[in-house]
Amino acid sequence: MTTSPTARDTVLGRIRDALALAPTPEVTVPRAYRTGRTLPDGERLALLTDRLVDYKAQVHPCTGDDTAEVIAEVLRERGARRIGVPDGLDEQWLTAYDGEVQRDSADIPAPSLDALDGVVTASAVSCAETGTIFLDGSPDQGRRALSLVPDLHVCVVDLSSVVAGVPEAVARLVPERPTTLISGPSATSDIELERVEGVHGPRDLVVVIRTDA
């Protein structure tokens, strides 16, 4: 009995044929672009803030001691009475908040997160030059649905985790973790290329930057 080749064998065979028919010389990748950049704290803070504001995110710099007060104030301003937090979020950050807090767990169905007024998470890394915050699913950041479904995302960034550019940020990531890059609130430019903040992701992004953490 003969077996017909699998699609896998066929496609790989075609690729090898193609490379034999049109061989090209080996290339070495020139990585002459900027890597390993460092910037002083003040410059990283200024740059990240400028980029985030440009994306229409709200930025609140504060000290580590003021974290709980600032978070409570942000939530109060927006009338957020019921919030979700990842299971591993620092309890100290919520001591000034008097609303209801739902600690997340995998058995809470994701659609029910839609009933929350907002979510507070930490973050893994941030890139100043592009205004990008990286979440990697660590216990203080939670599963991806938690920071996606509620309409308000309050994200805490430690200045020590803010790096200058994209290469410096990618170097700090753990590839196997589910990673989300966030650069401002949800947006679209699909109608006449006019930017509109807020489609499906959180329409309100508030970034609390702890300058001494």
Partner 1 sequence: MSTFLGMPAAPPRSPFGTGNLRGDRTFPEAAHGELRNDQLRHNLGRATRTIRTKRLNVTGELPDWERLRDAGSAVKTDTMNRLPELLEQLEQKVTERGGTVHWARDGVEANEIVTRLIRATGSSDVIKVKSMATQEIGLNEHLEAAGITPYETDLAELIVQLADDKPSHILVPAIHRNRDEIRQIFLDEIPGVDPDLDNVPAHLAAAARAYLREKFMTARVAVSGANFGIAETGTLAVVESEGNGRMCLTLPDTLITVMGIEKVLPRYQDLEVFLQLLPRSSTGERMNPYTSMWTGVTPGDGPQDFHLILLDNGRTAALADTIGREALNCIRCSACLNVCPVYERAGGHAYGSTYPGPIGAVLTPQLAGMHAAKNDPNSSLPYASSLCGACFDACPVKIDIPSMLVELRHQHTEQSGTTVEKLAMKAAAGVMGKPKLFTAAQKAASLGRVVGGRDGTISRLPAPLSGWSDSRDTAAPPKQSFRSWLASAEGAETMRAAADEGARLTAETPEEDQ
Q: Pick the closer one to partner 1 by CB: 149 or 155.
A: 149
| Residues between 112 and 171 that touch partner 1 (CB under 8 A) | 114, 127, 129-132, 137, 143-145, 148-149, 166-167, 170-171
Lookup: tokens for 158: 């430690």
- Draw the binding track, 20-59, toward partner 1 (x: CB under 8 A; -: no contact): xxx-x-xxxxxxxxxx---------------x---x----
Q: Pick the closer one to partner 1 by CB: 1 or 32.
A: 32
Q: Pick the closer one to partner 1 by CB: 199 or 212.
A: 199
Count of alpha carbons within 13 Å of 74, Cβ hemisphere only? 30
Asked if 11 interacts with partner 1 (CB under 8 A), we say yes
- Give the whole-angstrom CA distance, residue 129 versus residue 163: 8
In the complex, least distance from residue 57 CB atom to partner 1, rounded to whole angstroms: 10
Going by the DSSP 8-state scheme, the letter that residue 6 receives in this structure is P
Asked if 178 interacts with partner 1 (CB under 8 A), we say yes
Going by the DSSP 8-state scheme, the letter that residue 55 receives in this structure is T
Return the range that interacts with partner 1 (CB under 8 A); candidates 3-11, 67-75, 118-126, 155-163: 3-11
- Give the whole-angstrom CA distance, residue 195 versus residue 42: 30
- Provide the pairing of β-strand 118-121 with 152-158: parallel
C-alpha of 81 from chain center: 24
- Of 1, 4, 40, 106, the residue at the interface with partner 1 (CB under 8 A) is 106
Lookup: tokens for 49: 């803030």
Residues that bind partner 1 (rule: CB under 8 A) add up to a total of 78
- Of 124, 202, 204, 209, the residue at the interface with partner 1 (CB under 8 A) is 202
Asked if 108 interacts with partner 1 (CB under 8 A), we say no
Length of the chain: 213
Q: Which residue has the tokens 């937090």?
A: 85
- Draw the binding track, 60-99, toward partner 1 (x: CB under 8 A; -: no contact): ----------------------------------------
Q: For 27-59, give one letter per residue: b (16+ CB within 10 A) or e.
A: eeeeeeeeeeeebeeeebbebbbebbeebebbb
Q: Pick the closer one to partner 1 by CB: 35 or 160.
A: 35
